[in-house]
Structure 1
Amino acid sequence: MASLTPMMQQYLQLKERYKDCLLFFRLGDFYEMFFDDAVLASKELELTLTGRDCGMEERAPMCGVPYHAVDTYIARLVEKGYKVAICEQMEDPALAKGLVERDVIRIITPGTITDGSMLDEKENNYLLCAHVNGDNCGIAFVDISTGRCSITQLQTAGLADELARIQPAEMMANEPFFDQAGMLKTVQQRLDIKPGHCSVEFDDVDKAYAMLEANMSADVLDYVSKEEMPQAVCALASLISYLIETQKTALANIGGIEVYHIQQYMILDAATRRNLELCETMRSGSHKGTLMWVLDHTSTAMGGRMLKSWIEQPLLNINALNERQEAVEAMANQPLWKDDIKEALSGIYDIERLMSKAVYGNINARDLIALKQSLGRLPRLNELALQGKAARLKTLGQRIDVMDDIYTLIDKAIADDPPLSVKDGNIIKDGYDQSVDELRDISHNGRQWISRLEQQERDRTGIKSLKVGYNKVFGYYIEVTKSYYDMVPADYIRKQTLANAERYITPELKEMENKILSASERLVALEYQIFADIRDTVVGHIKRVQQTASAIAELDCLCSLADAAIENHYVRPVLNEGQRIVIQNGRHPVVEKVLPPHTFVPNDTLLDNGEDMVCIITGPNMAGKSTYMRQVALIVLMAQIGSFVPADMAEIGIVDRIFTRVGASDDLSTGQSTFMVEMTEVAHILHNATAKSLLILDEIGRGTSTFDGLSIAWAVIEYVADPGRLGAKTLFATHYHELTELEGRLTGVKNYYISVREHGDDVIFLRKIMRGGSGRSFGIQVARLAGLPQDVIDRAREILDILNASDINKKSISGNILGVKDRPKLKLKQQMDIFSYKIDGIMAYIKGLDVNSMTPIEALNVLHDIQSQVLDIYDKKAGEAL
């Protein structure tokens, strides 16, 4: 270190403190990186790697980025998962007497981004901390770009489902979390979340709460109870410690802690969210083609984020849902009034994130103008909301603070079209501050003053060639040529002698020189100080802004749901605490949007916990079984976010969870086959569902042998249909047509099929759900539609004919498929003689069976045994006959 330059020593001392970060070190107009950081950043950001003399024999690797473009580069690094420490010059280099003082002012991580340009405007960006203690777990998560902070406590087994909902951009956890290998693997590989260790870990809830009290105001902690949620309090303390460590400022934008219980909401696991494509599609991960895409007509970023949270966290509280529905209905019934609200909303910027930028010192003058313009919309929005014919709308109107005091402050102080940087001047309006006006006048009118002085001195002295000039060494001067030396006034002070002239100054010129030369610099500094004071004043009203922002977001959500209802011809569902789900002419909200108008075929649904508990749905591939089941799930979910639904009529008994087992996929990262993934998901459903849950099960049992798959599917239906074990409302699609035998055997099981019409070799899918079972899957016809070669289709038909004509016995079937004539063809009389042989014995065996006491699977196995006996007799007697 002793051999290094002072600046490089300073750099390495700071780097030692922030080893896990890329250190952006401010040098003039650039942020520089050195050594390993420079090599890494040059690769990740495609920057030119240079070098700098640092006092060692070899030059230090170096690369850098301009300060005015730093946000773009930081965003790219953070997106790749890096942490970036911002080291600023803490004093003016021009005034520093030695090495410029520098320090890290902020650490930017994936979960601590506040700049809206680095974030998706309709997505929250959560930093989350989990604290595991045996079977109990507490979580705390915050979006510091909006100030929203929440905590809850739950069973450790339910942590993965909650993480799947929150999808944090950054996660940390205490040591016991990492001891649970299964949980860690699920989080890392299935949810694609890479948790890190807490930098400060709290095991003592009293110490955790004391830390929170020391760093947060009492009203913020109003609803946080260390007795009721000890693990959540520990998680929150670790979270706040991390924010203090990285943000290095007071967390003024966290205006309150939301305490919630997962029992308040419908629980949706990761598989269900994926299969129902709530906010992103399974194949591309895009927004288009999701439920959010259909319902999102929001006008503000805040409304978009809130609507997403509603979709991902449906309610169980009927009163709250009815309030939302009444508001949506009021808007749908008054479209002109609703459009006025949308017009008012359309001019409102993301004031939540603007306020967070103000708290963390990142706001600029243009942001304040955006805030002012947003506030200017509030009086009209407040007036319109109070006119609403639903109680919730009036409540929201009352919560909208028009904040005319903040509007007036910004309007009077900040220029209408300020520059992007707050340190370039021209951000304070004329007339707001007298000192600014004086300095601006001097700075802008200095040349005119100099011209006036020059003419004034020519008139006073009579020296016609006199001129006022300027250079960087001597400043301003009055120049007089030799021929006019005798006319120089006594108050001129000689400053410089030239070959043919003398240069002078006067006290008046010197005073003005000082004013002119320092005016611009002082003006910029003064404008920035005034701007900072205005910013701090605005931050002092953050709770008012956040409360209003929340009301605006909810109003926007309700307006969006009304737009969706009008555009797509949705109806208001009837909600109750009962067990029935009744849907007349229900439609899939997404599929009907991508099909040509009026081509989607609607279908009815009846589910309850009694006679219509399990619907077994058979029919061809591509006929619409999966679409139908998903549409039922989506209609229920839409009803429980307060939305209207795509149907002619819907009665929805509140469900606590929706489970889906749809599609085939393996998980190579965990070494799980397609069948293993399927069975794992089925196990999760059967262990966690309740009688109030809705189950969507598609093709259970595929991926293994026919008998194994059929047996598993059969047993699953018995389990879910049994009120003593589960008794949950279930839609069960299958190609195992044998399962249709369960209707009449099991209470609550009903058969349905998707109707088709055959036309020669073609199949026309009618998409209509009908009572009864289907005996065929039409797989070959579907394969033909998919484009399989005709030779393959023809051969498949031949094999299908053989299978249909053959016994289920594997040896017999395989032999015939391969064309092996292992059983001789006999004349009819010979066949009759063979099958009369010992036929009485076989019949006696059958009569001796107590079929009524058998399970369906046992009866099926007995049937196979009888078939095998018949074939054995055939083979034996056929040989004798020949």
Structure 2
Amino acid sequence: MMNIDRSKLTPMMRQYFEIKENYMDYILFYRLGDFYEMFFDDAVRASRELEITLTARNCGLEEKAPLCGVPYHAVDGYIKKLVDKGIKIAICEQTEDPALAKGLVKREVVRIITPGTITDPEMLDEGNYNYVASLTKLENTYAIAYCDITTGVMKTTELHDPEKLIDEIIKIEPSEIVISDKHTLAPDMIKTIEAQGITLTPFMDHAFQPHAGKRIIERVLNVFSIESLGFADDSAILCASGALLAYVEETAKVPLNHFNKIDIYNHSRFMVLDKFTRRNLELVETMRTKDKKGSLLWVLDKTCTAMGARRLKAWVEEPLIDIEAIHKRLNTVEVLVDDLLLRSDLRTHLKQIYDLERLTSKLVYGSINPRDLVALKQSISVLPDIKGCIDTLEEGDFQTINEDIDSLKDIYQLIDESVVEEPPYSVKDGGVIKTDFHPEIANLRDAIANGKGWILDIESKERERTGIKTLKIGFNKVFGYYIEISKGSSKNAPEEYIRKQTLANAERYITPELKQLEETVLGAEEKIVRLEQELFAQLKQNIMVHVDRIQTTARAIASLDALLSFAECSYRYGFVKPKVNNKDTIQIKNGRHPVIERIFNETPFVPNDTLLDQKAHKFYIITGPNMAGKSTYLRQVALITLIAQIGCFVPADKAEIGVVDRIFTRVGASDDLSQGQSTFMVEMNELANILNNATSKSLIILDEIGRGTSTYDGLSIAWSVVEYLSQGSGIHAKTMFATHYHELTELEGKIDGVCNFRIAVKESRDDIIFLRKIERGGANQSFGIQVAKLAGVPEPVIERAKHILSKLEVNDINNNIQNLQGLEMEDGKAQPQTDGKVKYGDYSVSEGLYHYLSKLEVEQMTPIEAMNALYNIISQFKEK
């Protein structure tokens, strides 16, 4: 494109290239009349991506320029389609009135649109923030800053671990990440980020320098010193934040008046949730369909406003670890749960509030329309009622929320006095400003309404004054209004009449009075539209100075709405207030899975108890058949813990939650072909992440370990993991491990804190019924064939499987494991001896007898079963 001889181009195409050369990485939407047009390479690419016709236009060269275009009034849909594909767009508009232009109309790029800088609410999901982030690295410190340019929310943090940085990025879910065009990020990190579907945008390296960051932060946030915001000179977060503001300012091309705060946070302020846990617990979307329905957010979201929905999602993704902050939320929710009338009144009021955050951004970006201002006024009108509902409440967060909600009565008055109740969409259509708001508006509207009457009055007055009965007033586009007199009567025309046109049968005249009236009547509509535009612009400017107040109020409303959502959900579904503390105990009475319970709400959910601590109940080994409910139980314990730490009531009869710093999950596995990793490698990566990062304050959920390799390898790894997490110098984290390796149940009694649990199953001949109840003890079989039968596997296959199983059981791993040597436990009770004996209490017994005895469940035996067991001991293990 750049090799074109520009001297041969038409003036318009030369202007196009002058603008385009500054936006080579963008598709330039060049405004021509009622269309945005694209040329050359941009046209070829846009026509392909948008599936629109590619034509050509004379540009002064021998060959015509490729061309495609879209109507300006329908441009948003086309822009969204391109941006969704990661394509960046520059909008070029006429910046002067064509009627006043000398020569070519001046044009400039007025806005840049990238995946992270969309401002049109119609193109955004109202329930989600659309973050644009900047990422930088100084020495061994990574810093990420991110913001939603439609709400003014901006945050930043620093990390030292690349894996934790990736987890943070996955939590934030930015649409776009800005990096220095001289970045030093590792290729693997770049690849991982791009694999998440995030657009990476190189930006000038100068913007990432500390001095540049200092200047722009102080200017945009209007502060004397960055230290007042918590920034240190030469810090990585200073560089990331400064670059982000520079990029947003460059793309928006307007002052960022709605950026008034940067939240500098330590990621350890929140429970750490890595990408595996977020996926496995399905916090905000399901694993398979990526839909909100079926996720935890789907259950908890009973918000009334878009702002509240975004705040709730952020809370779900950032569980708290600060006890005081958790208690404040829980106490607020408790008041709302207990007061039905208060909850009902607040919900009624909140449903009348529009998206104040994004209305404010439209004000800043100059795209707010008359209907938006009416929506702002409507939202403000209910603020006093909301404050009235909570102004006497001091529990939890109510006092802070009430103080942050500004009634904004002056802004309400500004809009109410000036804008009609039901304005048109655009101020260009007129009819926006109230008649009595401005005297000239009143005069012009009077002229429009009564102009014809005024003409008839002049006509009647002139007939009477001149005595000419044929006198009449007419109108055409050439002369405007005129007085017409027949040829025969024209000799009686007054001297002050000015002849304008002679016809065959009549003469036409004008008078100064008629021309003045013409100017008033004919120019009224044009004048009133121009005046309304001026008054509307002034109104926007008057409201703009109060952006901070509107935003603070919007954030308080968002928090109130999210807390109210917690309360509504808790009331509807019978959740209870958990007792949250810093102890090392998780105790749940009749806990339920919040999502499964709602999806299958016609079937009663079978609740289960949980007791995890750092003593006798540190490590659950859970066995039982597939489909019986092991995974559901594991997830429900993790979700109940998480729900408590976001400050919501929990699905249980009673719960005491000792705050956990992290929740780890290793649930299932599938091949990651995009990364060239097998099922087993994915599984081991997740396991390594847990073992390398868990602490004694963590909660670990393991749903199968080692299933992706041979049975012996898998069992060996699983066995070793149990030891590492539970004994000696290991991690000692609270752990729940669901497994098909029934051999691991032998670790109860050998390792302190290891407890066996199983899913209760009722057998009836060859059939089984899942009771969904967790009970003490280990499962003595996996019921795999019975589950296959339930799943509909043909009967011949089932029968053949039974026959094969009976043959395999003769030499299965359960028998072989009894001959394993050298499994010395540092803290266990059983230790193999050199003479092949095992120390069992005060006695030395053979290994075979030891394993036989350890499997007996004496408490559940009938008398006859006990006699048979005794007979087997005597006959099989009698010393010879």
Give the alignment's TM-score, normalised by structure 1: 0.90
Partner Cα distance (1:322, 1:708) in 2: 46
Name the SS for the 1:642 alignment partner. coil
| CA deviation profile, 1:578-603 (whole Å, cap 9, x unmatched) | 10000011000010111234611100
Partner Cα distance (1:807, 1:364) in 2: 75
Contact 1:199 1:242 in 2 (8 A): no
**Deviation at 1:849?**
4.5
Q: 1:10 aligns with which of 5, 15, 24?
A: 15
Name the SS for the 1:738 alignment partner. helix
Q: 1:165 aligns with which of 155, 158, 171?
A: 171
Partner Cα distance (2:723, 2:292) in 1: 38
1:475 maps onto 2:494 in alignment? no
Partner Cα distance (1:784, 1:296) in 2: 39
Q: 2:398 aligns with which of 380, 393, 396?
A: 393
Q: 2:600 aligns with which of 567, 570, 595?
A: 595
1:533 maps onto 2:548 in alignment? no
**Deviation at 1:6?**
1.4
Change (3 A) 1:398 1:697: same
Partner Cα distance (1:220, 1:758) in 2: 73
Name the SS for the 1:2 alignment partner. helix
Change (3 A) 1:66 1:462: farther
Contact 1:206 1:226 in 2 (8 A): no
Change (3 A) 1:296 1:16: same
1:187 maps onto 2:203 in alignment? no
**Deviation at 1:53?**
2.6
Q: Which amino acid aligns with 1:264?
A: R
Q: 2:645 aligns with which of 640, 643, 651?
A: 640
1:143 maps onto 2:148 in alignment? yes
| CA deviation profile, 1:20-40 (whole Å, cap 9, x unmatched) | 112122222222222222232
Q: Which amino acid aligns with 2:258?
A: N
Change (3 A) 1:381 1:181: same
1:59 maps onto 2:90 in alignment? no
**Deviation at 1:694?**
0.5
* Residue of structure 2 equivalent to 1:452: 457
Q: 2:726 aligns with which of 679, 700, 721?
A: 721
Structure 2, unmatched stretches of 5+, are 1-5, 817-831, 841-846, 852-880
**Deviation at 1:429?**
0.7
Name the SS for the 1:206 alignment partner. helix
Q: 1:320 aligns with which of 325, 346, 356?
A: 325
Contact 1:124 1:305 in 2 (8 A): yes
* Residue of structure 2 equivalent to 1:624: 629
**Deviation at 1:665?**
0.9
Change (3 A) 1:177 1:280: farther
Q: 1:334 aligns with which of 329, 333, 339?
A: 339
**Deviation at 1:221?**
4.9
1:801 maps onto 2:806 in alignment? yes
Name the SS for the 2:8 alignment partner. coil
**Deviation at 1:396?**
1.3
Contact 1:372 1:411 in 2 (8 A): yes
Q: 2:674 aligns with which of 669, 674, 680?
A: 669
* Residue of structure 1 equivalent to 2:3: none
Contact 1:375 1:402 in 2 (8 A): yes
Name the SS for the 1:39 alignment partner. helix
| CA deviation profile, 1:776-818 (whole Å, cap 9, x unmatched) | 111111111112222222211111111012365999xxxxxxx
Q: 1:501 aligns with which of 481, 497, 506?
A: 506
Q: 2:689 aligns with which of 681, 684, 688?
A: 684
Change (3 A) 1:211 1:407: closer
* Residue of structure 1 equivalent to 2:372: 367
Change (3 A) 1:268 1:204: same
Q: Which amino acid aligns with 2:495?
A: A
Contact 1:325 1:642 in 2 (8 A): yes
**Deviation at 1:258?**
1.0
More off after superposition, 159-168 vs 220-229: 220-229
More off after superposition, 481-490 vs 465-474: 465-474
**Deviation at 1:69?**
2.1
Change (3 A) 1:454 1:27: farther
**Deviation at 1:692?**
0.5
Change (3 A) 1:379 1:136: same
Contact 1:132 1:176 in 2 (8 A): no
* Residue of structure 1 equivalent to 2:873: none
**Deviation at 1:437?**
1.7
Change (3 A) 1:249 1:416: same
| CA deviation profile, 1:452-485 (whole Å, cap 9, x unmatched) | 3223322222333333223333332222231221
1:238 maps onto 2:261 in alignment? no
Aligned residue runs from structure 1 range 394-409, under 5 A: 394-409=399-414
Partner Cα distance (2:274, 2:749) in 1: 33
Change (3 A) 1:88 1:480: same
Q: 2:573 aligns with which of 545, 568, 571?
A: 568
| CA deviation profile, 1:16-66 (whole Å, cap 9, x unmatched) | 111111212222222222222223223333333333332223333323222
Aligned residue runs from structure 1 range 126-141, under 5 A: 126-141=131-146
More off after superposition, 170-179 vs 447-456: 170-179
Contact 2:137 2:184 in 1 (8 A): no
Q: Which amino acid aligns with 2:47?
A: S
More off after superposition, 739-748 vs 47-56: 47-56
Partner Cα distance (2:645, 2:781) in 1: 37
* Residue of structure 2 equivalent to 1:819: none
* Residue of structure 2 equivalent to 1:835: none
* Residue of structure 2 equivalent to 1:84: 89
| CA deviation profile, 1:275-300 (whole Å, cap 9, x unmatched) | 10111011111111111111111111
Q: Which amino acid aligns with 1:676?
A: M
Q: 2:586 aligns with which of 581, 584, 593?
A: 581
Change (3 A) 1:636 1:39: same
**Deviation at 1:533?**
0.9
Partner Cα distance (1:649, 1:26) in 2: 64
1:343 maps onto 2:351 in alignment? no
**Sequence identity (%):** 53
Contact 1:365 1:418 in 2 (8 A): yes
Q: 1:749 aligns with which of 733, 751, 754?
A: 754
Partner Cα distance (2:287, 2:470) in 1: 83
Contact 1:383 1:397 in 2 (8 A): no
* Residue of structure 2 equivalent to 1:69: 74
| CA deviation profile, 1:551-588 (whole Å, cap 9, x unmatched) | 11111111111111111111110011110000011000
Q: 2:610 aligns with which of 605, 610, 623?
A: 605
Give the alignment's TM-score, normalised by structure 2: 0.90
Contact 2:214 2:226 in 1 (8 A): no
Aligned residue runs from structure 1 range 739-818, under 5 A: 739-806=744-811
Contact 1:4 1:56 in 2 (8 A): yes
**Deviation at 1:226?**
3.7
More off after superposition, 54-63 vs 801-810: 801-810
* Residue of structure 1 equivalent to 2:828: none
Q: Which amino acid aligns with 1:165?
A: K
Q: Which amino acid aligns with 1:722?
A: Q
Name the SS for the 1:105 alignment partner. strand
More off after superposition, 618-627 vs 5-14: 5-14
Contact 2:207 2:246 in 1 (8 A): no
Q: Which amino acid aligns with 1:186?
A: T
Q: Which amino acid aligns with 2:631?
A: S
Name the SS for the 1:195 alignment partner. strand
Count of paired positions: 822
| CA deviation profile, 1:60-118 (whole Å, cap 9, x unmatched) | 33232222222222222212211121111111112222211111111111111121111
Partner Cα distance (2:207, 2:648) in 1: 42
| CA deviation profile, 1:672-718 (whole Å, cap 9, x unmatched) | 00110000011011111111110001111011000000011111111
CA RMSD of aligned residues (A): 2.2
Contact 1:576 1:653 in 2 (8 A): yes
Partner Cα distance (1:49, 1:467) in 2: 56
More off after superposition, 111-120 vs 471-480: 471-480
Contact 1:582 1:651 in 2 (8 A): yes
Q: 1:353 aligns with which of 342, 358, 378?
A: 358
